[in-house]
Structure 1
Amino acid sequence: MNVNAKPLSELSRLEQCLKSASTPFDIASQQIISHGSYSDEPHTFMIQTGVIEIFRQSDELLIAIATAPFILGLTAGMINNSQEYMMVAQTPCTGFYLPAATTRQRIQQESLWHEAFCWLSWINHNLEKRDKQLVGNNSYTQIRAMLLNMSEWDDALRLKIGVMNHIQRSTGISRSVVAEILAALRQGNYINMSRGKLVSINRLPTEY
């Protein structure tokens, strides 16, 4: 398994396993994705098309931007806790959801623990990368890491998302500090931006 590559074949098998016991959704951009119930019962969500933003509910910190296919809440049925993350559609999205307890039952019935482990390993790898880039680092190092991540997005996604807003929501660094560093990088011809969007990176110094 290449841990840097999304495990699409395993994800497809999980999708087929869970779909028959699920409720579909079709949601517009900028809408919260939820199971539409007043129950606190945890759910599993499968994003089949579109792009989502994942926020930590406790402080609304932007944790990640994810493109379909994507599963959130695969382990929610294993531990007794409430949903810790909120999803917002960045583009129109389709998918389905089901109770996390049903997810666990279906995976057990279909013997898809290997597929579940592959998906969770990929998620864990990305969280480890995020921690290494952001936790305990100074403001410039965090901003540099965010710019490098954005440079890896496809052009369509990168040209939709404002650099300053994305970095501020993902790190909690003040807008004034983010603006100052971005202005210095543009002046030094280290990055190219257009209308607040990242166009390209020429070279980023390791220190500010």
Structure 2
Amino acid sequence: MHIHPPVQPDQSIARLTAVLKPLAEKMKVIPRKRITWDYQGQSQLYLFIEGELSILRASDGLLIATLYDPHLFGLAEMIQPVRGHILRAEQDSTILRVDAQKAADVFRREGLWEDVAALLSYHSAYLFYRDALIVQQGTYSVIRSHLQEMILLPEETRMRISILEYIQERTHLSRSSVLNVLSALKQGGYIAFKRGGYLTELTDLPERF
């Protein structure tokens, strides 16, 4: 069964971003730069405007998600000071930071806490989605789900990250486990990839293999 991700609340993100931009400070972000939740001792919100940004689990660097569309981060950290995740730019990106307390004041004044709740709900649902992809799943099921996710990426993105790297960053499966499944899928005509392991084609993958 193909597991579908939750629907991102784009309108809520747009409304929150619109009111925060006048308060925001632009950051210089280069590829592989990691971004933490505090700046000069104050909790921050981050407006991701354009580029490519990943969310990593702080404890072990597991990649939770990579984003390409505008987004807002730091709402949960603004309310609960848990630092379980960090952000990492994957290429030159436009990111703005806003002091969390100033943001909270704006949300209260503009009556935007419903939009805040919508975005927090989406983040929670996405974590459940990621768990469904990998927790208590067999190796093939995990790889199958990530291949189905990967083929939906723009071709430019797929040509920058190999299948092996994409899956290992998100699952910590062993190199041999991933390569064995990919080899079997290629022999079966279910998948095609360029030299270096860059995904080019994917047919309907079997439920079990």
Q: Who is 2:14 aligned against?
A: 12
What is the 5 A alignment of 1:99-138? 99-138=99-138
Q: Percent identity?
A: 27
Alpha-carbon deviation of 1:80? 3.0
Larger deviation, residues 43-52 vs 16-25: 16-25
Alpha-carbon deviation of 1:87? 1.5
For 2:117 and 2:201, locate their aligned partners in 1 and report how far apart those are by CA, in whole Å.
35
Q: Who is 2:206 aligned against?
A: 205
1:87 aligns with 2:87: yes
1:57 aligns with 2:47: no
What is the 5 A alignment of 1:1-208? 4-34=6-36, 37=39, 39=41, 41-81=42-82, 83-195=83-195, 196-208=197-209
TM-score (norm 1): 0.89
Larger deviation, residues 137-146 vs 68-77: 68-77
Any stretches of 5+ residues in structure 1 without a counterpart?
A: none
* Matched position secondary structure for 2:77: coil
For 2:26 and 2:158, locate their aligned partners in 1 and report how far apart those are by CA, in whole Å.
28
Letter in 2 for 1:97: R
Contact 1:54 1:85 (C-alpha < 8 Å) held by counterparts:
yes
Larger deviation, residues 154-163 vs 131-140: 154-163
Contact 1:10 1:116 (C-alpha < 8 Å) held by counterparts:
yes
* Matched position secondary structure for 1:9: helix
Contact 1:14 1:112 (C-alpha < 8 Å) held by counterparts:
yes
Any stretches of 5+ residues in structure 2 without a counterpart?
A: none
| Dislocated runs of 4+, deviation >6 Å | none
